[in-house]
Amino acid sequence: MSCYKDGRAFLKNARPLLMFFVLIVAVVVGAVFYFMTPVYYLDVTVGDEGEVVYHERVNPGDRFTHSYLHSVALQPVYETFEVGNDYNLYLVETGFGSLGAGLPYEDKGQFSIENGMYVLRDLKQPVDAVYLRGSSFTNHKLKIDNKVFNLSSKSFCGLRVEVKVRARARARASRLF
């Protein structure tokens, strides 16, 4: 015969142990999801070997700007890119000093003229990555947060520059177990 007249006394006494077990399972599951959820970084790599010169965590809404002097029109041009909610890059704004070869000609987004520049906003054009090649005569600049990369300098001139969002896991599964 059982020590308990009914199962209710057993469940009442086992409740703290059951709650502890549920808490442990919740913590383990939460830790696995936390460490396996990717973190997104904006990487700027240079050269054929892809030397990383910038690596910072990004969130949706973060922006960076590429500006240069157009080689044919000799007018300033800028492009603003934004990290979307899906962590993909989008061209969201561009401005240029004149119309001509290699400059936008389509009527997309919201058009305005500001400080003598034609400006297109709300473009939301997806791009996998931004590929650039610095040149000594085009005054190329890449501005991310408060950091400015002079792509016309000797350290970047003629080299391939890639700007891309990359996902990385917080930790490897092997570290957890």
Per-residue pLDDT at 173: 46
Residues 151 and 107 in one domain: yes
Residues 99 and 24 in one domain: no
Residues 79 and 119 in one domain: yes
Tokens of 19: 């709650």
Sorting pLDDT into bands at 50, 70 and 90, what band is 174? very low
Please give the Cα distance from 142 to 163 (Å, whole number).
10
- Number of structural domains in the chain: 2
Secondary structure of residue 40 in the 3-state scheme: strand
pTM equals 0.75
> Does residue 30 form part of some domain?
yes
**pLDDT over 70 for what percent of the chain?**
82
Tokens of 89: 């890059």
Asked if residues 162 and 52 have their Cβ atoms less than 8 Å apart, the reply is no
Q: Is the pLDDT of residue 44 over 60?
A: yes
> Does residue 2 form part of some domain?
no
Residues 118 and 158 in one domain: yes
pLDDT digits (tens, 9 = 90+) for 118-156: 888 999 999 999 999 988 888 999 999 999 999 999 989
> Does residue 140 form part of some domain?
yes
| Average pLDDT value over all residues in the chain | 83
Q: Is the pLDDT of residue 167 over 80?
A: yes
Q: Is the pLDDT of residue 169 over 70?
A: yes
The H-assigned helical ranges of the chain are 7-36, 173-176
Per-residue pLDDT at 132: 93
Task: Please calculate the CA angle 57-40-85 and round it to the nearest 5 degrees.
Answer: 105
> Does residue 148 form part of some domain?
yes
pLDDT digits (tens, 9 = 90+) for 70-117: 877 678 899 999 999 999 999 999 988 876 666 666 667 788 888 888
Residues 43 and 28 in one domain: no
Q: Which domain holds residue 111?
A: 39-169
